[in-house]
Homo-oligomer: A and B are copies of this chain.
């Protein structure tokens, strides 16, 4: 899947100022990613409608505005690698090849869901495709990712972990303890972990400025001697370039690396965040101008690999896929009641 060429620069050669080398990703791949991003966008819009209709329960956190981020980093994903993230997890699953039908069915709490209807939106897992969840306690998946990375190094697989975390999560103690372990284990090449900060400017209603006195989040990795850089994550090509450099470094050295990816949450924190008293409509309107899908459309038009008509087709197809997923979800049966007590302990233990 990797479409950029790896340069021989070590990541520390790159200034931490958001500029990235020009991507060599092909126009065809960009177009394909555009299609995927639109599909994810429409999937999430459909899920939001499902929530409003009371068909999707619990909490629902969408990735709208952030699609270029995961799509870009996953360009450097290779079979055997693993991702782990928080509850804002639909995009990761879908970009990694997760079935939109099973994913939607999960949100609908159906037995055909990705995790049998047991987890819901916050706990998507698709281990077969390398997607290791979906966690609801802010920051608490960070040590899991670091430990998973240790295991890859221990078993000498050559695989790496992509560990996604929010700008809010970085202030949690788990971040500090885990990044410190990563730095320490990295000295022996025992922590092939790529930390990816999804800096969407807010942790629920708390802006980065109101969460820390040092808003240069990437710099927090200095505490652990972990090299890092920033990237404009509204720009898919910039993300892809950084992703390859970073992934190659991590894979080759067994050491951690970090990227602060600057993005923006265009939607509410979660589907129940109606008021958004914490930010102005103007701010959101301004941010929409850099919607990664919009930017990518312009880029594709500039490159001449698409036109309005072709894009309209892509949107229409994405709409169909989302509709199909919803239909599948709606028509799927609820989990069998016997599922209540399975998966508490391993089946072979005979315990329920």
A residues whose Cβ falls under 8 Å from a Cβ of B: 171-177, 180, 183-184, 186-187, 210-214, 219-220, 222-226
Contacts and interface: CB of A to CB of B under 8 A. Distances in A.
Give the 6 A-B CB pairs with smallest separation, nearest first: A173-B173, A176-B176, A183-B213, A213-B225, A214-B225, A220-B223
Nearest to A183: B213
A304 to B, nearest CB: 46
A173 B210 CA distance: 20
Contacts of A184: 210-213
A183 B224 contact: no
Contacts of A211: 180, 184
Contacts of A173: 172-174, 176-177
A230 to B, nearest CB: 16
Contacts of A180: 171, 211-213
A212 B226 CA distance: 11
Q: How many copies does the complex hold?
A: 2
A127 to B, nearest CB: 28
Given A224-B212, A224-B214, A177 B172 contact: yes
B183 A214 contact: yes
Contact of A175 (B176, B183, B214, B219): B176
A226 B212 CA distance: 11
Contacts of A171: 176-177, 180
Nearest to A175: B176
Contacts of A177: 171-173, 176
Nearest to A211: B184
Contacts of A223: 214, 219-220, 222-223
A226 B211 CA distance: 15
A47 to B, nearest CB: 33
A212 to B, nearest CB: 6
A187 B214 contact: no
Nearest to A220: B223
A286 B175 CA distance: 37
A208 to B, nearest CB: 11
A139 to B, nearest CB: 9
A11 to B, nearest CB: 16
A94 to B, nearest CB: 33
A187 B174 CA distance: 24
B214 A222 contact: yes
B224 A222 contact: no
A219 B219 CA distance: 11
Nearest to A177: B173
Given A171-B180, A183-B214, A222-B223, 7 more contacts: A172-B176, A175-B176, A176-B176, A176-B177, A183-B213, A212-B225, A219-B223
Contacts of A219: 222-223
The winner among A174, A184, A223 for most chain B CB atoms within 10 A is A223
A65 B2 CA distance: 57
Contacts of A210: 184
9 contacts: A171-B176, A172-B176, A173-B173, A173-B176, A184-B210, A214-B222, A214-B223, A219-B222, A223-B223
A25 to B, nearest CB: 33
A142 B220 CA distance: 19
A124 B217 CA distance: 38
